[in-house]
Each structure stands twice: as C-alpha cells, then as structure tokens.
Amino acid sequence: MTHPVLILGARSDMARATARAFAALGHPIQLAARNANSMEVEKADLETRYGVEVTLHEFDALDVAGHERFVDGLPVLPGIAVCAVGTMGEQEENEKDPAKAVAVLRSNFEGPAIVFGVLADRFVKRGAGTLVGISSVAGDRGRASNYVYGSAKAGFTAFLSGLRNRLAKKNVHVVTVKPGFVNTAMTAHLDLPAKLTAEPGEVAGAIVKAVEKRRNIIYVRPIWWLVMSIICAVPETVFKKTSI
C-alpha cells in the first residue's frame, strides 16, 4: 500500500534521495521547503521518472507559528513524514555569533520538533502514521568540535524518543535516523573518512527499510554505533582532555 510521503527540508541531498527512494515504490510525494516553487525541475523529474503525483509546498521550519497552518493546508495528510531540515554551520562562528548559534539550534531542534508535534497530533487523530526524523551521531555526546550543532541534534534525538514513547500505543511510529558522515553539499569542504561516510542514496535506502520494518533507531552505517558507544564510554575526566 502506498501513502503520500511528506519531505520537510526537501532541497537537501539526503531529502532529494529519500524522495526518489519512496517515489520508486509508487508513493506520491509532497516536497516542502523554502522557495518551493524553485523545485519545479525536481518535481517534473520525479513525476516523469516514477509516474507518481508530486506537489510543492512552501515551508519554513523557523516559522513555528505557521506550522499548524502549513500542515492543515496540505492537500492530503501524509502517511509518512520525513524531516531532513538542518544546518551545521561552523563551530567557531557558532561560539562567537549568537545569531548563528540560534539559527543552528532552531533549524536542527526547535523547528523540526514543533512541526513533528503538529503532525503527531494529526496522525493520532487519524489513527495511523510514521514520522522519520533525521538526527545525527553528533547528538550522542557533546564534543568540542561541534557542540552547538551536536546539542541541537541531541535535543531532537531526545524529542523523538519521547514522542515515540508517547505514541507507541496510538499506531503512530517514530523513527530516529543517525546518518553519521554523509557525502553532501553541506560536508563538501570536509575531508571525510570513506569507511564512515555514506552517500545520500544509502541514507534514503536505510530510511525506507526502517519505515517498512518499523525500526526505532538506526545508524545508517552500523560501525557508527560502535564508534559512538566507545566515545560515550570515555570517562568525563579523560574526555575533557581530548579535542575531538
């Protein structure tokens, strides 16, 4: 059975790959992003390539006051919603510029959490639905190299966990996705280790599989579970001497 799939933050590499993965299975796609009309080419490609209906929707994750209006304005309530909203920024800039830090915190935590809260309420009322939040391994433990971004993702991970617990008996499933490094435009300037770096299509495939199998928390590359387990096990007295 196919259901409309809402992709929030649809302009990112992971989001576009995820839209293609669901469209390939016959799901209608709702692409939501700022300046959504500029995604006409992506819309046409999905429609032509996969023969599914694709609609474009203006969405600003930071406009939390407008989230209910956005959800209720969709032509049909989606069966699956994937949130790929987020921005990393530069840690040194985030430390020194409050405005940049706020943008990172709101983009990765506040905006995604609020819109998922609205969708959760609508899914509960209907009696079914799946929410997929793309978080990050960066949220597993705060690290000097990216603790502003990491703390925002930690908040989103905790939110998804609580939401999953709240909705467990409501036939609404919540999936937390932790991709690790991904080869995208956002990370193009970084020298990433190949064995730890996934491609957007790999993330998309993992999301589809997690939805189908009703998984709760997934690390796109399982090695990240081991890596983060080790990092989280390091005593604080030792960890604070590192600069990872």
User: pLDDT tens digits for 52-74?
Assistant: 999 999 999 999 999 999 999 99
pLDDT on residue 2? 87
Domain spans in the chain, listed from the N-terminal domain onward: 5-239
- The band of 45, judged by pLDDT with boundaries at 50, 70 and 90, is very high
Nearest CA-CA partner of 92 in 139, 51, 145:
145
How far is it, in rounded angstroms, from Cα 90 to Cα 159?
24
Nearest CA-CA partner of 85 in 120, 117, 112:
112
Percentage of the residues of the chain whose pLDDT score is greater than 90? 86
Average pLDDT, the chain: 95
Q: What is the mean pLDDT of residues 197-224?
A: 96
The phi, psi pair for 209, rounded to 5°, reads -65, -40
- The band of 192, judged by pLDDT with boundaries at 50, 70 and 90, is confident
Q: What is the pTM of this model?
A: 0.94
pLDDT in tens, 124-170: 999 999 999 999 999 999 999 899 999 999 999 999 999 999 999 99
pLDDT on residue 188? 64
- The band of 244, judged by pLDDT with boundaries at 50, 70 and 90, is confident
For 47-87, the DSSP string reads HHHH---EEEEE--TT-GGGHHHHHHTSSS--SEEEE----
pLDDT in tens, 77-119: 999 999 999 988 888 888 899 999 999 999 999 999 999 999 9
Could you tell me which CATH number the domain at 5-239 has? 3.40.50.720
Answer yes or no: is pLDDT of 186 > 80: no
Please name the residue that has the structure tokens 């939501």: 32
Catalytic annotation, pick one of 50, 147, 149, 219 = 149
Known catalytic residue at 50 = no
pLDDT on residue 42? 97
pLDDT on residue 92? 86
pLDDT on residue 33? 97
Answer yes or no: is pLDDT of 3 > 80: yes
Q: What is the mean pLDDT of residues 193-216?
A: 94
